Amino acid sequence: MNPLPADAAVFESHLPQLLALVEKRLELQRGFHGRADLPALDPDLFDLARELGLLLRVVYRYGLAEALEEESAWYASALSSRGPGRDALTLLLDSWIVAIHGVVKPPECDRLARPLQEVRSRVDRILSRIATPPSTLLPSGVHELVDRLVRGEKARAQGLLESRIAAGLAPHEAITDLLLPAMVEVGRRWEVGASGIWEEHLATETALGLLAGLAASARPREALPRLGLVGCVPNDEHQLAPAALSAYLELRGWNAPSLGRTLPAEQVVLAAEKLAPHAVFLSMNLLARLHDAVGLVGALRRSRPGCPVFVGGRRAATARTWLEEAGARVVDSFEEAHREATGELPDHA
């Protein structure tokens, strides 16, 4: 592991104090400045403030300032759908800028605040990027599947999948071509305020049931003598990705149990030691989890050096350099993960 950059060390040493100051500033804005719009963002605003602190830790530690604007678009989307998007995003950024200048001495405070100030100057551009109309270019059948998922209509959603499989779609392709695009659209609708939190939760639970049904009922064309261990990097709350990958690999012939989400690193390592899988597959959906991911990959490689570790997810490609330096192989799709793990693609360092 490379030594911690000096500015990153300063930030991390002050992180609890910085976060307390950020939360205090948000609370003052919420309660004493006539901001009746801010309570509509509870608890998202305070949760996002803490998440931004974790993201900044990764940005400074791994030199990923260029990714801050892209990540800010996600924050902007979540805030814009629930109230004063521009004001809320600038308030979030300003609170961290003020905290850094209030706690950290020059010249470190100037360097630490600069990436946030640059994003702050481009807020309008960020908001214009997320102001997109509902997606109309989804694959055939996905819109209908989304409608079934957000209503919790498992039987009708399952019927849609079964009809496509009967027409020639491979069961594992039902996951990548239908279920995953549908859940991306569910998430997009939640981010832009077109659906509620309860609908997103209902869709997720329904999709999990469909995945379990597919893996249990469909027979893989070929049974592979392969055991794959699937899970999330520590502190990742996205439960659908490991469930979907587990089902996908099972349908391609693997035995691929899933550890689910938020399992501590030492427990993932222990599972790998006890189960001795041929490969470990990890999902990383937030760049703020990069430090957790790097630590887990390193621990797995030390514990079982002959077992390849594959990492995918929404932000894995952004962190490719650091993940691969830790010993992981970054993959961009379920298909690539399956092919690399079964040796159908050339091995690489």
Nearest to 54 by CA among 283, 232, 292: 292
Cα–Cα distance measured from residue 290 to residue 318, given in angstroms and rounded to the nearest whole number: 10
Residue 33: predicted pLDDT: 56
- DSSP codes, 134-145: PP--PPTTHHHH
- Give pLDDT tens digits for 82-102: 555 567 888 899 999 999 999
76 strand-pairing partners: none
What domains are defined for the chain?
6-130 (no CATH), 142-217 (1.10.1240.10), 228-341 (3.40.50.280)
Please write the tens of the pLDDT for every residue from 177-216.
Answer: 999 999 999 988 877 667 788 899 999 999 999 999 998 8
Measured CA to CA in angstroms, residue 342 lies from 90, 173, 224, 225, 334 at distances of 47, 18, 9, 10, 12
pLDDT of 228 higher than 90: yes
Q: What tokens were used for 237?
A: 């709350």
User: Is the separation of the CB atoms in 72 and 89 below 8 Å?
Assistant: yes
- Indicate the length of the chain as a whole number: 349
Instruction: Say whether pTM exceeds 0.95.
Output: no
- The CA R_g of the chain, rounded to the nearest whole Å, is 22
